[in-house]
Amino acid sequence: MELSWARVTGTLLRRTALAALTVSIVSLVVFAALNILPADPTTAALGAEATPEMRAAYRRLMNLDVPPIPRYLHWAEGMLRGDFGISVVSRTPIGPELAQRFALTAILGVGSLLLSVVLALPLAVRSARRAGRLIDVTVSAAAIAVSAVPEFVVAIGVIVLFVSNLRWFPVSSNGIIEGDLNALVLPVLTLTLGAAAYVFRHARVSVVETMSAPYVRTAVLNGFSPARILWCHVMPNAAVVVVNAVALNAITLLSGVIVVENVFGYPGLGQLLVQALVANDFPKIEAVAVVTTTLLVVVNLLADGSVLLLDPRLRTQGAGARR
Amino acid sequence: MPRWPSIAVGGMPGRVGLLLVVVALVVTVTGPFVAPFRHTALVGPILQGPSVTHALGTDQLGRDVLSRVLYGGRSVLLLPACAVALAFGLGGILGLVAGYRGGRLDQLVSRGADILMSIPPLLLVMVLVIPLGTSDVVLIATTGIWFAPRIVRIVRAATASVCTKDYVLAARVRGESTASILWHEVTPNITGTLLAELALRLNYAIIFITTLNFLGLGVQPPSSDWGLMVSEGRAFLGHRPLISIVPALMIGALAIGVNLLSDQIAVYLARNVQQSSRL
Amino acid sequence: MSSNPRDSNPAHRPPPGRADASPADRHQLGDRRESPAGFEIRELMIAYAGAEGLTPVVGGVSLRARSGQITGLAGESGSGKTTAALSALAYLPPGASRLGGEALLNGRSILDLERVALRRLWASEISYVAQDAGTALNPARRIGSQLDEILRVNRGLARAAARRRAVELLEAVRLPDAAGARRRYPHELSGGQLQRIAIAMALATEPRVIIFDEPTTGLDVTTSAEVIAMLGGLIRERGLAAIYISHDLALLAAISDQLVVFYAGEVVESGPTSDVLRAPRHPYTRALLDALPSARRALRPRGIPGLPPGRVVVERCSFTPRCPHAEARCREEHPALGAIQPGRFVRCVRAGELGPLPSEAAPILQPSRDRPRVPVLEVADLVCEYGQGAGRVVAVDGVSLEVRERQVVGLVGESGSGKSTIGRAITGLLVPRAGTLRWRGEVLPAGGRRTPAQHREIQIIFQNPDSSLNPRHTVAQLIGRAVVLFREDVPRSAQADLIAEALREVQLDPALMSRYPHQLSGGQKQRVAMARAFVARPRLVICDEIISGQDVSVQATILELVRTMQREHETALLFISHDLAVVRAIAQYVYVLQGGRVQEHAATERLFEAPAAGYTRRLLAAVLEPAGAAQDHGARPSGGGR
């Protein structure tokens, strides 16, 4: 056992290093895309009609006379310190706004993820146990439909149903800033549906496959009750696949978040990014990009860690002398 | 390979999937020839409901919605297809070689793929659009490059598992060259997996590119791409919902169809593997 | 017995008849163990539902397993023995349905119980030990957790008591380091350890009946022998009624009291084991015994031509197409299982007139001592390693051997002895750490950089034809590859004919050319692999465990075939196997390998008659053979008979 914890920590450290590397690479690419690739950054930022004075002011603000590599390092070092730079549009520090938006997006994302698991797992188990019957076929069909289509199609569907016809909720979720929880409902609903469909499909397949495993036959022949077999024998094995699926889902969820924020006007990171893109506010774009990537990478790490904890086979080496 | 034709025909989900994809294909290919008007032509009063001349009504600029829908399938199908082809071309070869050789090359390729895969895609493309613009080529290239690592992973894993089989060893004992082994022995055994993955990637590519179009970061107006139409019609959902709903349904139908097909292929594969080990 | 807290608690006192009862109770035990109660199956019929309707796979099976006795179920794969046993436990495999018959436990019918009662039955009175313990245990839970669960849920023990009892059980099955094993996960233990644990779990519920389904398949000969010895003791000691399913007649001879032989879903012969094996009355039993190679006697195994039907045959006797004694009436009526003596049953209309069937096996003819031949393969001081650093394993540690022209050399050893590694090194799949390989006098370059002639002259046949034949190629393409590469003497137009000829040589119909591997049986696939190897006109063919994993009757056929091919093509063979008996049947010279080193090497007869090395002697002693496998034909039996 002592050996296995060393292996786990080793693997996690390696993954963390990889994660840090990923964030660095992304920040590098983003920086390069915005600052180095464009022929003239001032045109890209200010437009072709900018006056020479505006361009000069911009160059001073953005330190454009400094060669790219020290500029990047200076900026990266600032990020690590927590200084996210200054928006060229509002001339205010990006940090506080970033934090607020980050919190709002986190609520949206994490909330939807958790809700999706809560919704999908029981459905998946029920479907798996009654595989092929009406309830399974209907729910599976719905899950396929929802998980196959882009998020914005789901969003439009939600709007048509709940806003146009039922008029239960407002279409704009701006109100969340004032704490109006109604504004959360539709975005969360849309994201949850998409994520739940995805988790459902993977969980269902996993449970069905596990149920036909030889060790389940052993449990049956040991005379255990169906409940015990399901929860103590099937689920521990199926759980690994489910966690993996949830982790994979995190990336898709992030893209979904950007779309959902856009559709419902939810003031989160996604919206911030889009506003910054429209306004060509490069420092803001860079800052949001890095923060988003870090968030994603951390979620992936957590998922990796849980998979390692759950699947004993990954922790230790098979000691059996297999020919 | 006499068994392939029965893939999509077997099973209800497969048939439904095939039907949906075929319908979308037909609309895409024949649409522009069948449409009553051109997709950019201003042919009527704005925001009219369905009528005899305009089966789906007109949009906010007075263009015929039906015609726009019929013109709009091109980018939804063509761009993702090209992107997936690119990804398979790049990733397939890399994965094949890495899976066969193993060792340090394999490790390097796998690590590289891992890193690339953890990069948030939408983010990356959005950022790359600024310096590179929103042309079709940029869309295809960025999507293809983003998918490539995943393909590398899949192909590598499939190749590696095939290479543990004795028939690959037997070929090595016979003194066959690497290229010959990869072509004769390995590739026929991974085509199934590749096909399933191809269909799945197509699904993701469709989602990805239509989402980009929806957000305004892909094809630009006056294109009648379905994603763009959904976005433009957002403001009128209460008043004239068809402008958004019809293209949304088309996207949905195509995406579901491709997804069902890929599922069917995967099921077919699993059954085949079982059969051969039954004896 | 140890101070068992259960004894003090009246609620948990085990009913009499259990092995851990107090000595006073054991007195009463005496008569109960001898009673005819036990597990009985009557006329069980099972069918699978398929596209063409119902396919019967078990037809009218009846047998009785008495307490304290082991009843062996013998038969090859597809004979229906596992289906019959599981169905008798009321566990129908998916797609199967019971057409008739019943199963009785101590007189109580169990096949019509409802779920809850059935679960209770499985939880406390009947246990089943599956074939592959590795997959039968839950990979996500520790051994201790799984074992304790049975004790707590099925026997109602408290946590601490369950833990103690679990350790007792693991010690009873002679598992080394019981406490340590409890903390481990299944994938951390070896096959032999897992099998013992599975047996412990079966014993935990203190059942009356245990069914063992090939529990030692895949284990080493020596591990296997230990597990069996332990089992026999446990069963008789606790008065269990045991059913032991196996395809291995030798094993059943060693362990079972009663023997039931299965063929095509029916019982074709049954009775006391020694009687059935010494004087078989059914032609199939006789053929099965004759197909077994022997390490103790110099006899040639005989294959059974044809294939077994995959279902119950009701119109006639199912063995007719392959039976040397078949007559007209065998083809007309379906024979019933008749008693030729009390407790002795045979399903054959000619049983009465044929009497006990004598063996048809012939002694091995030793080749004449012809002039000394030139060595083609010379291996000197070969060293092969796997892995790096701390995980480095030396698989072959300084092995030297030699194969001469047209000679059959056997390489025998248990798993881990390095025999397969040697084969890989010779074919160039593995680069040796040290040592030289010479082929016809010239040094073979390490790795794959060989001349085309060298590639052609050294061929290999692998163990598992499912893995060695590309599933996406037809038989014609598989053999055709070798033809294209190695038979440049044959023009394009004549290639198809050559392939047909190659197939005929291995006794396959050339019409099979267009088939894919999954459409062939195991034996047919291995023959295709053989055809592929020999069509190249090699000088040396390495046979790497080519018959393990096949049914007994198929093994003998393939063995015969490979000998014939070797003689006709005048090739040398390096025959690698873990099975001493098989090596004796085919090789002229034998090398015995252990731990990567050659323990002994000598001409076959000398090695088997008078083994010099201690290891060889131990290996020979551990080999199980059925009593009366063949009658003497003048060949001197050697070693300890049974």
Q: What is the pLDDT of residue C388?
A: 75
- Do B224 and B69 touch, CB atoms closer than 8 A? yes
> How close is the nearest chain B Cα to the Cα of C539, in Å?
14
- Percent of chain A scored above 90 by pLDDT? 7
* A/C interface, count of CB pairs below 8 Å: 92
First to last CA, chain C: 34
Tally Cβ neighbours within 10 Å of residue B165.
20
Residue type (1 letter), B215? L
Q: Map C528-588 to HEC letters.
A: HHHHHHHCCCCCEEEEECCCCCCCHHHHHHHHHHHHHHHHHHCCEEEEEECCHHHHHHHCC
What is the C-alpha R_g of chain B?
22
> How close is the nearest chain A Cα to the Cα of B184, in Å?
29
Which of C452, C463, C468 has the CB atom closest to B167's CB atom?
C468
Residue showing tokens 């003689």: C567
Q: Using a CB-CB distance cutoff of 8 angstroms, which residues of chain C are in contact with residue A310?
A: 140
Q: Cβ–Cβ of A320/C119 closer than 8 Å?
A: no
Cα A158 from chain centroid?
Answer: 21
Question: SS3 of C629, please?
Answer: coil
Q: Using a CB-CB distance cutoff of 8 angstroms, which residues of chain A are in contact with residue B127?
A: 29-30, 33-34, 285, 289
User: B241 in contact with A at a CB cutoff of 8 Å?
Assistant: yes
Q: Residue B98: CB partners within 8 Å, gap ≥ 6? A: B105, B106, B109, B110, B152, B156, B159
Q: Cβ–Cβ of C521/B279 closer than 8 Å?
A: yes
* pTM of the model as a whole: 0.78
CA-nearest of B66, B72, B63 to B42 is: B63
Q: What is the pLDDT of residue C639?
A: 37
**Hey, which residues does C594 pair with through a beta bridge?**
C597
User: B103 in contact with A at a CB cutoff of 8 Å?
Assistant: no
**Hey, which residues does C403 pair with through a beta bridge?**
C377
What is the C-alpha R_g of chain A?
24
Tally Cβ neighbours within 10 Å of residue B62.
15
Query: Which token pair is C490?
Result: 């044959």
Confidence of residue A177 (pLDDT cuts 50, 70, 90): low
User: C113 in contact with A at a CB cutoff of 8 Å?
Assistant: no
User: A148 in contact with B at a CB cutoff of 8 Å?
Assistant: yes
Question: SS3 of B119, please?
Answer: coil
Q: Using a CB-CB distance cutoff of 8 angstroms, which residues of chain C are in contact with residue A223?
A: 119-124, 154, 205
Q: Using a CB-CB distance cutoff of 8 angstroms, which residues of chain A are in contact with residue C138?
A: 215, 218-219, 233, 236-237
Cα A295 to Cα A24, A72, A99, A253, C438: the distances in Å are 13, 21, 12, 12, 61
> How close is the nearest chain A Cα to the Cα of B179, in Å?
31
Query: Residue length, chain A?
Result: 323
As separate numbers, helices (DSSP H) first and strands (DSSP E) second, chain C gives 25, 24
Q: Residue C148: CB partners within 8 Å, gap ≥ 6? A: C159, C162, C163, C166
Q: Using a CB-CB distance cutoff of 8 angstroms, which residues of chain C are in contact with residue B171?
A: 481
Strands C572-577 vs C258-263: parallel, antiparallel or unpaired: unpaired
- Do C459 and C542 touch, CB atoms closer than 8 A? yes
Tally Cβ neighbours within 10 Å of residue C598.
20
Q: What is the pLDDT of residue C166?
A: 92
Query: Which token pair is B197?
Result: 């993955």
- Do A304 and A93 touch, CB atoms closer than 8 A? no
Residue type (1 letter), C513? M
Give the chain C residue nearest A236 (alpha carbons).
Answer: C140
Q: Cβ–Cβ of A34/B131 closer than 8 Å?
A: yes
Give the chain B residue nearest C532 (alpha carbons).
Answer: B170
Chains that touch A (3 or more CB pairs under 8 A): B, C
Question: SS3 of B55, please?
Answer: coil
CA-nearest of A139, A171, A176 to A155 is: A171
Residue type (1 letter), C427? T
> How close is the nearest chain B Cα to the Cα of A290, in Å?
10
Question: Among residues 59-78 of chain B, which lie with CB inside 8 Å of chain A?
Answer: none
Burial label for B5, CB within 10 Å (0-12, 13-18, 19+), is exposed
Spatial distance between the Cα atoms of C226 and C224, rounded to a whole number of angstroms = 5
Tally Cβ neighbours within 10 Å of residue B25.
14
Q: What is the pLDDT of residue C1?
A: 37
Residue showing tokens 């994979």: A248
Which of A33, A145, A255 has the CB atom closest to B211's CB atom?
A255
Question: SS3 of C338, please?
Answer: strand
| Parts of chain C with a pLDDT under 50 | 1-35, 629-642
Question: SS3 of A52, please?
Answer: helix
Q: Cβ–Cβ of B132/A37 closer than 8 Å?
A: yes
Q: What is the pLDDT of residue C127?
A: 92
Q: What is the pLDDT of residue C29?
A: 35
Q: What is the pLDDT of residue C30?
A: 36
* B/C interface, count of CB pairs below 8 Å: 61
Chain B residues touching chain C at CB-CB below 8 Å: 1, 165-167, 169-176, 184-185, 188-189, 275-279
Confidence of residue A315 (pLDDT cuts 50, 70, 90): low
Query: Which token pair is C496?
Result: 């198809």
Q: What is the pLDDT of residue C285?
A: 93
Q: Cβ–Cβ of B131/A254 closer than 8 Å?
A: no
Residue type (1 letter), C204? A
Q: Could you tell me where the beta strands, DSSP code E, fall in C405-535?
A: 408-413, 434-439, 442-443, 458-461
Q: Cβ–Cβ of C191/A1 closer than 8 Å?
A: no
Query: Which token pair is C431?
Result: 């680069």
Spatial distance between the Cα atoms of B214 and B228, rounded to a whole number of angstroms = 5
- Do C189 and C219 touch, CB atoms closer than 8 A? no
Chain A residues touching chain C at CB-CB below 8 Å: 1, 213-215, 217-225, 228, 232-233, 236-237, 240, 310-313, 316-323
Tally Cβ neighbours within 10 Å of residue B125.
25
Cα C440 to Cα A237, C374, C401: the distances in Å are 55, 8, 14
Which strands make up the sheet holding C96-105, listed edge to edge?
C53-66, C38-50, C96-105, C108-109
CA-nearest of C630, C633, C627, C602 to C616 is: C602
- Tens-digit pLDDT profile for residues A225-243: 988 998 888 888 888 777 7
Spatial distance between the Cα atoms of B253 and B91, rounded to a whole number of angstroms = 28
Q: Cβ–Cβ of C188/A320 closer than 8 Å?
A: yes
Q: Cβ–Cβ of C191/A220 closer than 8 Å?
A: no
Q: What is the pLDDT of residue C627?
A: 61
Which of C130, C141, C415 has the CB atom closest to A323's CB atom?
C415
Q: What is the pLDDT of residue A323?
A: 24
Cα B217 to Cα B88, B128, C226: the distances in Å are 24, 10, 71
Residue showing tokens 């201790």: C144
Q: Using a CB-CB distance cutoff of 8 angstroms, which residues of chain B are in contact with residue C450?
A: 175
Spatial distance between the Cα atoms of A185 and A196, rounded to a whole number of angstroms = 16
Q: What is the pLDDT of residue B27?
A: 87
| Parts of chain B with a pLDDT under 70 | 1-10, 271-279
Question: SS3 of C96, please?
Answer: strand
> How close is the nearest chain C Cα to the Cα of B159, in Å?
14
Question: SS3 of C89, please?
Answer: coil
Round the average pLDDT of chain A to a whole number and report it: 80
The packing angle between helices C159-172 and C143-155, to 10°, is 110
Q: Give the DSSP H or E segment for C223.
A: helix C221-238
Residue type (1 letter), B114? D
Q: Map B88-102 to HEC letters.
A: HHHHHHHHHHHHHHC
> How close is the nearest chain C Cα to the Cα of A189, in Å?
34
> How close is the nearest chain B Cα to the Cα of C80, in Å?
15
Give the chain A residue nearest C87 (alpha carbons).
Answer: A221
- Do A158 and A237 touch, CB atoms closer than 8 A? no
